[in-house]
Structure 1
Amino acid sequence: MHRFAWLLAAGLAAPLGVGAQTVPAAPDTTTGRSAAWQHRTLLKLGTGLTRGFELGGFSGLSVPVVLGVERSITPGWSVYANGFTGVRVYQAERFQQMYPGRRRNLLRSPGFDLGVRWYYNQTKRQAKGKPSGPLIGNYVALHSPTQFWYSAYRPNRFVYGYSALMLVWGLQRRVGGHGLLDAYVGAGVSNPRYFRYDDQTGAIRQVRQLGIATELGVKFSLIP
């Protein structure tokens, strides 16, 4: 009798045990895209055809150096800041002729820019196997640069040049393990400085007026 009861209990427990093994666990609906996404920060040290690059004429040759940081704040959105300057490689003879004995400043046209980027169509790019992910892909940005000019009349000093507010379209791609390509084009408004001659006093005045600003560049950067 006892043996029969033991066999009956084992027979009832077996299907329950099998059923417990085959029933899948309920999916965790509390985690989603927002939980999988994480903040990411890129530090960049780069150069290229961008602000600070000058060639020929009065300037000679200056190569830009750009130090920047970009941080993702939500999926697809990021904020960034860059500091840049041109580094003089050689000095034009024209400058020496106009200002004999004066050495041109090593740094050329320094400045900085700030902005907000939106990397669009990330889901479609992932589905098509195209480069995508945090801080990678095609983007549109609200971009604001400020630049300073070297003063030929005040040795070793820079004066405020202008600021601008632009709408920029661009693309950012990883190149190898520690490379980054950033190409962009845009346009907007700025506050350039103009010189005006006063007929009555014979003086030259500096004035600022709203003008059109453009942006075009290709940067190659090293990243960690």
Structure 2
Amino acid sequence: MKPLIVANWKMKPQALKGAKRLFNLVKKETRKVTNVEIVVCPPFIYLSNFFYGRGKTMIKIGAQDCFWEDPPAGGGAFTGEISAKMLKDLGCKYVIVGHSERRKYFKETDKMINKKIKAALRNGLKPILCIEKISQIKKGIKGITKKDLKKIILAYEPIWAIGTGKACGIPEAKKVNLSIRKILMDSSFPTSSYILYGGSINSQNARDFIKKAKFQGLLVGGASLNAQEFIQIVKNVSET
């Protein structure tokens, strides 16, 4: 299976011009990389620009969040929300769910996150379930059928490592990875399920999280906003 590298741009760049420049640089410099799956998750406001003006590329587009309701044909009274159906209709393939910043700043609970995962699955999106603690796995996948479990991607992000420049140590990360894998096996997840690592990823440590800690991919935050750094992360992982 190809390593999966997901770029979470969060609430950046602040202008469309910068977002296009960043995307085009990554697209140009990774066009020959065929053994890594790249997903870019820009802010909602830029999504349509990337679908209708990105040209030919293997890069997939994802969203940073979705709402848990599927509104009726006439729309729903959920001011400010974006449904999974809207994202799918636009062309998104992936959606990040349960990021620690959503849990912290918007008070998202495991129950809310579970509903978002189900909404994503109903609408043909691949949810990337972010967890800070192993105990959040079973709560996040509660009530999901065995058939749909294989579509879920897990991303382990120790909250103390996000944006701090201090990534989890490789031995510790490997231990957590094995613990997650055991829980997945006990929960009927297929053995081929993706588990990503996120938290202060850079071009120096990216390869080790794949090769030594045995993760199947990376969820990259701040480093994904630096075109050259992100490109180098992709290239380094492609050589593992």
Q: Which TM-score bucket, shorter chain as reference? A: under 0.3
Scaled by the length of structure 1, the TM-score of the pair is 0.20
TM-score (norm 2): 0.19
More strand by share: 1
Structure richer in helix, relative to its length: 2
Choose between structure 1 and 2 for higher RCO, CA contacts under 8 A separated by at least 6 residues.
2
